[in-house]
Amino acid sequence: MSKDRLKVHISGMGGQGVGATSRILTYASQLAGLSVSSMETHGLAQRGGVVVSDIAIGYGRESPLCANGEADVLLTLEALEALRSMVKLRKDGIAVVNTTKYQPLSVRISRGEVKYPTLEEIKQELKKRTPNVIMVDADKTARNLGISLAMNVVLIGALCANTDILPFTEEQLKEAIKAKIPQKFVGVNMAAFSKGKETKIS
């Protein structure tokens, strides 16, 4: 894979910051002088609907949508989304997973008939596709810093620390965080980024 070409599939639930994550990665790519396009799809956010964003960096005018097996990076803001989305990830790609579990409606109303898989089960399924699995308790880390909404930046930090395929520098990524996060939250988000960088591939 060319160092200046990257496809990213981001998935989560309404209100988790999928859009902000996409904007940060997109802007970092622009700072690096690369072509970049993205597409975001919203489900029923008020019902815990899925929100997905695809990013294509260095692909010119090609569609940003990630076909199955095409994403170099899978970044999920909810644990179960990693299983649903892993078909998008290429063999030996990189999966960054927030370990926080938000039970979907189908699990909550099933009276125990529908089971939410354990984190270990989720991890083992991902390992069948790639050895590069980064499990991050991003929600807890962000809450310890005083703002749960920074958990997406924790995940970005974890991604940055565990790969050399990103087509932009860490400094460009930090500049993108500063540019795309409201000014009053920049400090805590930079701390979230640093904390995320302490995470290692599990």
CA dihedral 164, 167, 169, 174 (to 10 degrees): -110
Whether 130 contacts 92, CB under 8 Å: yes
Least confident of 23-32, 76-85, 98-107, 182-191: 98-107
pLDDT at 163 over 90: no
- The three-state secondary structure class of 65 is coil
- Of the candidates 78, 91, 76, the residue with the CA atom closest to the CA atom of residue 156: 76
Residue-wise pLDDT for 13-45, tens only, equals: 877 889 999 999 999 999 999 999 999 886 654
| Cα(20)–Cα(16) distance, integer angstroms | 9
Average pLDDT estimate for 43-54:
71
pLDDT, position 44:
55
Structure tokens at 169: 């520098």
| Cα(36)–Cα(61) distance, integer angstroms | 8
Whether 11 contacts 18, CB under 8 Å: yes
pLDDT at 58 over 70: yes
Single-letter residue type at 130: T
Whether 147 contacts 184, CB under 8 Å: no
Residue-wise pLDDT for 117-159, tens only, equals: 899 999 999 999 999 999 999 999 999 999 888 999 999 999 9
Q: What is the phi-psi region of residue 183: left when phi exceeds 0, alpha when psi lies from -120 to 50, beta otherwise? A: alpha
Domains of the chain: 6-196 (3.40.920.10)
Whether 24 contacts 2, CB under 8 Å: no
pLDDT, position 33:
96
**How would DSSP label each residue in 70-118?**
-EEEEEESSHHHHHHHGGGEEEEEEEEEE------HHHHTTTTSSPPPP
Residue-wise pLDDT for 86-127, tens only, equals: 999 999 999 999 998 776 555 555 666 667 789 999 999 999
pLDDT, position 149:
87
Mean pLDDT estimate for the chain: 89
Single-letter residue type at 126: L
Q: Which residue has the higher pLDDT, 82 or 102?
A: 82
